[in-house]
Amino acid sequence: MAAVKIQAREQRQRRAAVNVIAFGTLITLVYFGRDFLVTLFTAVTIGFILEPFVDLVMRLRLPRAVASFLVCSIALTLLYLLGVGAYTQIAGLIEDMPAYSARVNELSSEVVKNLEEAERGVLALFTPKRVRDVQNPAAANPAARKRRAPEPPPPPQPETPQIQEVRIHAEGSPLVNFVYQHWERIYQVLLLASFIPFLVYFMLSWRDHMRRHYLQLFHGQGRHAAGRSWQGIADMARAYVVGNFVLGVILTLFSGLFFWLFRIPYFLLVAPLSGFLSLIPYVGLPLALIPPLFAALPVYNKVGAYLIIAAVVGGLHLIAMNLLYPLLVGSRVHLNPLAVTIALMFWGSVWGAMGLIFAIPITAGIKAVLDNVPELEAYGKLLGD
């Protein structure tokens, strides 16, 4: 009897060790394969957005492959037109960048001046007068300060041709310098991004084939659990992705209308940025405020104008996240706040900004699998609400 207990304990220890090693290996693959996985999840996200349109086109009695090709072609055309519009807005913004830089420098100088005045006021309030006179004798004796003549600045030294060449290179375009310094990374990102249209098309056109043969990998009860998991992930991901996309479009339309009426420059670029940044959990509101407040710098000098912009953007954010989000998205995710926070911390540290975007759908997909596997159902309840 004792030997049986010892053997069972050793088996549990070996199983725990194997699970720890498997978990560490999975984390390593997720970290070092982030470029591949981010590309794959981006294609899956776009596929879920386009899936309803493929089903709509298939009602015209077209094969799935043809319907997928038409939808992907229309999506690429719209993306190209949006890219051209964004390019014109960005080009105009670059031309007006000196005005923005001057305004930022002016605001920075005002902030520094106010901080220095506040510091001097605090020191004058809490420091005795005799201590101030010892620390700053020139302020205690203005006559001595007037008698001291300022030292003349040193004469400028002539620059050699090598120094002039280095200075000209250092003062080049920031975009050119960034591309020059990170060209290998940019090439890798562009190479992986070029696969996204093909991945999306094949995911849409071969969806039924992949599902059918995926289920054939399992037998008996495992096949039913795999089918329920597939359907749960599909329903959750479609509701989350499409719901967030619809919310982003709604926020873009209403915020763009307000920015146009409020005469904020480049509202066609600022509105989508503000609308979709607002959807990022926890940090969406401050991120959504940055584009319109920055775009309004050369136009408005009064604090009241910026308060109005912040109030409108904040109001739209609160309405979308508290009224529309539960209707379109929240009923499908079913994650508790602690699980969401930990997921954002983990995926954000592993994948950066893209991790913050994919954290919730990935975690909700894992929960959908756990809920449909009897041995793992308790872990799904741990993540659930």
pLDDT along the chain (385 residues), means of 10: 72 79 85 87 86 88 90 91 84 78 77 78 68 54 52 57 47 55 76 89 87 80 78 78 86 92 88 89 85 86 86 90 77 78 86 83 84 81 81
User: Measured between alpha carbons, how far is 362 from 355 in angstroms, rounded to an integer?
Assistant: 10
Q: Is residue 294 part of a domain?
A: yes
Model pLDDT, residue 174 = 54
Of 198, 238, 232, 249, nearest in space to 372 by CA: 232
From the DSSP assignment, how many helices (H) and strands (E) are in the chain?
21, 0
Instruction: Note the pLDDT of residue 77.
Output: 93
Question: Is 264 within 8 Å of 292 (Cβ atoms)?
Answer: yes
Report helix, strand or coil for 180.
helix
Establish if 110 belongs to a structural domain. no
Q: Is residue 221 part of a domain?
A: yes
Number of domains in the chain: 1
Domain annotation covers residue 227 = yes
Which pLDDT score, from 0 to 100, does residue 136 have?
Answer: 57
Distance CA 135, CA 201 (A): 74
pLDDT of residue 177: 62
Q: What is the DSSP letter of 335?
A: -
With a CB cutoff of 8 Å and minimum separation 6, the contacts of 268 are: 85, 89, 256
Residue 37 falls within a domain, yes or no? no
Contact 281, 321 (CB under 8 A): no
pLDDT for position 169: 46
301 in any annotated domain: yes
CA atoms of 206 and 67, how far apart (whole Å): 12
**Which DSSP letter does residue 171 get?**
T
Q: What is the spatial distance between Cα 15 and Cα 248, in angstroms, rounded to a whole number?
A: 45
- Would you say residue 53 lies in a domain? no
- The H-or-E segment that residue 144 falls in is helix 142-147
Burial class (CB in 10 A: 0-12, 13-18, 19+), 262: middle
Torsion of CA 26, 29, 32, 36, to 10 degrees: -120
- Is residue 239 domain-resident? yes
Q: In residues, how long is the chain? A: 385
Q: What domain range is 288 assigned to?
A: 206-333
Q: Quick count: other Cβ atoms within 10 Å of Cβ 270?
A: 24
Provide DSSP, 61-123. S--HHHHHHHHHHHHHHHHHHHHHHHHHHHHHHHHTHHHHHHHHHHHHHHHHHHHHHHHHHHH
